[in-house]
Amino acid sequence: MILEDAILKRIILSALILPLFFLAACGKELSNEEVLQNLTTRSASLQSYHQLVSLKTTTDKEALTNTSESTEQYSVSDASIFPEKKTSYGKRINKKTDQPTEKLEIYITEDVGYIQTDDGTLTQLATPDIPLRSLEIYPLETFIQLAKIVAENGDMVRKGDAYVLTFKGKGETINKEINALFESFPSEQTTYDIRIILDAKSFYLESMTYTSVVSLPDQKTTVTQQLNGEFDLYDSVRLDKDVPVLPAFDVPSELSDSSLMK
C-alpha cells in the first residue's frame, strides 16, 4: 500500500509539473534575433495592411542679421496596401511654408497608377512606381529594416504585450546605416531619437516615432526631421471595387494645428 501511494504521488506530481514546463516553454523570452526574424517572416506574407505615415522637415537657419529663419515641409499619407494584388490606394497631403496645401488621391494597380488632385485633375501614369512611392512615403519594408537597425544599435525590451525598440543619441554605425536606408547625405553631427513598437503576439509593427537633428555649424543651420507611422488592419483591409471610392481625408490634429496649415 505504501508503494502504491508513493507511485500515485509521483504520477500526481508529474501531472502538475508537466503543464508548468509547457507554460515556461511557451512564455520563454525570445532573443532579439528571434523577434526580428518573426517580424520579417510574418510581414513577408501579408495580403493587406493599412499605414498612416507623416514626414516633417524643419530647417532653422541663422540669418546675417542674427535672426532665425525657419521653413517647414510636411507630408502625411493614409494608405491601404495589398502586396499580393500589387494594388494600393489612399490619400496624401503635402504642405510647404508659404505655399498652398496639395491634396492627392492615389490609386495603383500592377500596371498603372492614377493621381487625382483636389481640383479634380486626374493623371494616369504608365508605371505605378512613382505614385506608389508618393502614396507610401516609405514602404513597410523600410520601417522593418529600421527596426533591425535600432535593435542592433539600441535597446529592445518586452513591455506587456509589446516589444519596445529604442535608440537615443549619436553613433557612427547607426548613422551610416540610417543614411544608407533613407538614401540621405550623412552628417557626423546627427542626433537620433527613435522608438518602435512591435506587437508581442503577432510580431507586426504597430507604430514608430523617429526624430533626427542635424547640426551644420558652418552653415549656421539645423535640420530636424520627424517621421511617424501607425500600422494596423493586417490582412483585414478589404478591396471591394476595382477603383474604390476613397473616403474623406481627415487632417491629423498635429497638421491642422501647425503653422503649415495657416
Q: What is the CATH number of the domain that holds 251?
A: 2.50.20
* Residue 11: inside a domain: no
* Residue 99: inside a domain: yes
Query: Rounded to the nearest 5°, which phi and psi values hold at 122?
Result: -110, 125
Q: 59-78 pLDDT, tens per residue?
A: 999 877 777 889 999 999 99
Characterise 137 by phi-psi region: left (phi > 0), alpha (psi -120 to 50), beta (else).
left
* Residue 225: inside a domain: yes
* pLDDT at res. 111: 87
| Tally of domains within the chain | 1
* Residue 17: inside a domain: no
* Residue 3: inside a domain: no
pTM of the shown model: 0.80
* Sign of the CA dihedral running 252, 159, 148, 193: positive
Rounded CA separation 260/100 (Å): 9
* Residue 9: inside a domain: no
Decide if 90 contacts 77 (C-beta within 8 A).
Answer: yes
CB burial of 54-71 (b: ≥16 within 10 Å; e: otherwise) equals: bbbbbbeeeeeeeeeeee
Decide if 52 contacts 76 (C-beta within 8 A).
Answer: yes
Q: Which helix (H) or strand (E) holds 155?
A: strand 155-159
Q: What is the domain range of residue 121?
A: 31-257
* pLDDT at res. 60: 95
* Residues lower than pLDDT 70 in the chain: 1-27, 240-262
Q: 228-240 pLDDT, tens per residue?
A: 999 999 999 987 6
* Residue 238: inside a domain: yes
- Across 83-189, where does the E strand assignment appear? 87-96, 102-108, 113-117, 122-125, 155-159, 162-169
Q: 167: buried, middle or exposed (CB in 10 Å: 19+, 13-18, 0-12)?
A: buried
Rounded CA separation 109/132 (Å): 9
Alpha carbons within 13 angstroms on the beta-carbon side of residue 137 total 25
Decide if 210 contacts 188 (C-beta within 8 A).
Answer: no
Radius of gyration of the chain (CA): 24
* Residue 20: inside a domain: no
